[in-house]
């Protein structure tokens, strides 16, 4: 069976260093990071990637009071992606439109807030919000987006730890090819910085980044890296079957070429480079490519000592005979946006199809020899000879791995 070609026609995002693809991209090329200090309940000032988008651009104040931060991020990104796509939203069949949003976790923020609030009233549950249940169900970000947009097709979230952003795109591609929907809004979001639990968890693992300069705290591949900078953010795309996009004269950012998802089945948190390499190879095979056809690899590397090394081992194994493949990373700019990471990191590289400029990995002042991949682009942008295919790695806790390949669109 011949699979439908699926293309990206719109991008909407908010990141710690930008609230549109153009702003985000420019800051990636200029080395502008968006990490800052923010107050975390019970823990005091912590390093984090904080987004500064205008939530009232697409929501009313009452909606913000009733809804969640993750829902607000999703609505902002979805509305921006739809506008960017140029689709006529009034005539778009709402029952044939799907919303597929990857999310690392959901509900922690609301639950922590409610417990903190009722603690002031001797834990009297009459002070517990009657919106708590709809705020904390796993499908909340997609559900809030559906309510805001009036979309009546399938709308749900995909839990895949830090691989969730990639999974949103992968799942949407599958649904379009199956004919379940004709138009998809997909990607990933994260509200992680608003729960102290994730900060406490990483700190207990000695995996929370520290640095006197917030902008330099996230240091993938650097010998002095010491952990993750937790971030919020979101990036949603509009995906369509090629024939539908062409019929309405849509601009096309890229075509989905291949993907694969597998599991390490070996450890709760420590990556398995053998399984990661298998995931990457399968995605390349599914795309009908060889490693030499991949021009750019965007790494997942989170700036944890072992995690970066393990991923570099997997990349080195796959691309050993591909000397021209370039490699970069985005987390030095924005930290780790958890469920939004894969979607945001892909977006930052999409303009490379047009300008051939690969944004660098920043804050790598002393490259760890165990991370010294031949094609690693460090600290300064690099002009590539060719960028026709981009591989986006996104891995998560409990051993979930995802690899997504997009290619330059050719009619």
| DSSP-assigned states of every residue in 270-327 | S--HHHHHHHHHHHHHHTT--GGG--EEE----S-HHHHHHHHHHHHHHTTT-TT-EE
Question: What is the pTM assigned to this prediction?
Answer: 0.97
Q: Does pLDDT of 335 surpass 80?
A: yes
CB 363 within 8 A of CB 216: yes
End residue of a domain, out of 224, 247, 270? 247
| DSSP-assigned states of every residue in 178-226 | HTS-SEEEEEEEE-GGG-HHHHHHHHHTT-B---SSGGGS--TTBTT--
User: Does one domain contain both 80 and 135?
Assistant: yes
The verdict on residue 31 lying in a domain is yes
User: What span, in angstroms and rounded, lies between the C-alpha atoms of 147 and 374?
Assistant: 48
Domain count, the chain: 2
Q: Minimum mean pLDDT among 99-113, 170-184, 358-372: which range? A: 99-113
The per-residue pLDDT for 333 is: 98
Give the mean model confidence (pLDDT) for residues 158-164. 97
The per-residue pLDDT for 388 is: 98
End residue of a domain, out of 247, 266, 283? 247
The per-residue pLDDT for 179 is: 97
User: Does one domain contain both 81 and 182?
Assistant: yes
Q: Does pLDDT of 157 surpass 80?
A: yes
> What pLDDT band is residue 24 in, cutting at 50, 70 and 90?
very high
CATH number for the domain that contains residue 132: 3.40.47.10
User: Does one domain contain both 27 and 81?
Assistant: yes
User: Does one domain contain both 205 and 142?
Assistant: yes
The per-residue pLDDT for 22 is: 98
What is the token pair recorded at 390?
A: 């981009």
User: Does one domain contain both 239 and 263?
Assistant: no
Give the mean model confidence (pLDDT) for residues 354-378. 98
User: Does one domain contain both 213 and 264?
Assistant: no
The per-residue pLDDT for 91 is: 96
Residue whose pair of structure tokens reads 């104040």 in the numeric block: 61
Q: Does pLDDT of 1 surpass 90?
A: no
336, 359, 364, 371: the catalytic one is: 336
The verdict on residue 15 lying in a domain is yes
User: Does one domain contain both 43 and 100?
Assistant: yes
User: Does one domain contain both 99 and 54?
Assistant: yes
Better pLDDT: 1 or 242: 242
The verdict on residue 1 lying in a domain is no
Give the mean model confidence (pLDDT) for residues 297-314. 98
User: What span, in angstroms and rounded, lies between the C-alpha atoms of 126 and 116?
Assistant: 14
The verdict on residue 252 lying in a domain is no
User: Residue 34: which domain range?
Assistant: 6-247
Specify whether 300 is catalytic: yes
User: Does one domain contain both 239 and 278?
Assistant: no
End residue of a domain, out of 223, 247, 271? 247
User: Does one domain contain both 293 and 234?
Assistant: no
> What pLDDT band is residue 411 in, cutting at 50, 70 and 90?
confident
User: What span, in angstroms and rounded, lies between the C-alpha atoms of 120 and 91?
Assistant: 49
235, 300, 359, 364: the catalytic one is: 300
Cα dihedral 106, 108, 110, 113 in deg (nearest 10): -160
Q: Does pLDDT of 366 surpass 90?
A: yes
> What pLDDT band is residue 2 in, cutting at 50, 70 and 90?
confident
In 10 A of CB 97, how many CB atoms? 24
The verdict on residue 319 lying in a domain is yes
User: Does one domain contain both 243 and 94?
Assistant: yes
pLDDT tens sequence across 210-260:
999 999 999 999 999 999 999 999 999 999 999 999 999 999 999 999 999
What is the token pair recorded at 79?
A: 């509305």
pLDDT tens sequence across 197-221:
999 999 999 999 999 999 999 999 9
User: Does one domain contain both 282 and 239?
Assistant: no
77, 103, 162, 235: the catalytic one is: 162
The verdict on residue 340 lying in a domain is yes
The verdict on residue 13 lying in a domain is yes
The per-residue pLDDT for 284 is: 98
What is the token pair recorded at 131?
A: 């919106």
pLDDT tens sequence across 83-108:
999 999 999 999 999 999 999 988 99
Q: Does pLDDT of 370 surpass 90?
A: yes
């Amino acid at each position: 069976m011949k699979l439908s070609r699926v293309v990206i026609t719109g991008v909407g995002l908010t990141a710690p260093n930008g609230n549109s693809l153009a702003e985000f991209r420019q800051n990636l090329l200029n080395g502008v990071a968006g990490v800052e200090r923010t107050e975390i309940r019970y823990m005091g000032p912590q390093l984090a990637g904080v987004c500064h988008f205008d939530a009232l651009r697409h929501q009313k104040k009452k909606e913000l009071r009733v809804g969640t931060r993750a829902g607000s991020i999703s609505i902002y990104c979805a509305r921006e992606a739809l506008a960017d796509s140029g689709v006529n939203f009034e005539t778009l069949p709402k029952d044939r439109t799907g919303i597929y949003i990857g999310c690392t976790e959901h509900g922690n923020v609301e639950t922590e807030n409610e417990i903190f609030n009722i603690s002031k009233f001797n834990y009297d549950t009459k002070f517990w919000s009657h919106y708590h249940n709809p705020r904390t169900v796993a499908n909340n970000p997609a559900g809030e987006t559906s309510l805001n947009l009036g979309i009546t097709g399938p709308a749900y979230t995909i839990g895949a730890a830090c691989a969730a952003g990639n999974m949103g795109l992968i799942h949407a591609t599958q649904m379009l090819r199956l004919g379940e929907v004709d138009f998809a809004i997909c990607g990933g979001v994260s509200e992680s910085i608003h729960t102290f639990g994730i900060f406490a968890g990483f700190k207990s693992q000695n995996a929370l980044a520290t640095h006197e300069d917030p902008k330099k705290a996230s240091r993938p591949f650097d010998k002095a890296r010491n952990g993750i900078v937790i971030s919020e953010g979101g990036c949603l795309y509009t995906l369509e079957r090629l024939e539908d996009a062409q019929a309405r004269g849509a601009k096309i950012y890229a075509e989905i070429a291949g993907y694969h998802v597998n599991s390490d089945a070996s450890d709760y948190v420590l990556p398995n480079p053998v399984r990661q390499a298998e995931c990457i190879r399968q995605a390349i095979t599914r795309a009908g490519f060889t490693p030499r056809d991949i021009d750019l690899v965007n790494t997942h590397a989170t700036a944890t000592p072992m995690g970066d090394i393990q991923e570099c081992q997997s990349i080195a194994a796959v691309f050993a005979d591909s000397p021209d493949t370039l490699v970069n990373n985005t987390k030095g700019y924005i930290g780790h946006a958890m469920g939004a990471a894969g979607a945001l990191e892909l977006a930052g590289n999409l303009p490379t199809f047009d300008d051939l400029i690969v944004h660098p990995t920043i804050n790598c002042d002393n490259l760890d020899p165990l991370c010294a991949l031949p094609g690693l682009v460090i600290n300064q942008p690099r002009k590539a000879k060719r960028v026709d295919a981009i591989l986006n790695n996104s891995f998560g806790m409990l051993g979930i791995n995802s690899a997504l390949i997009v290619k330059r669109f050719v009619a």
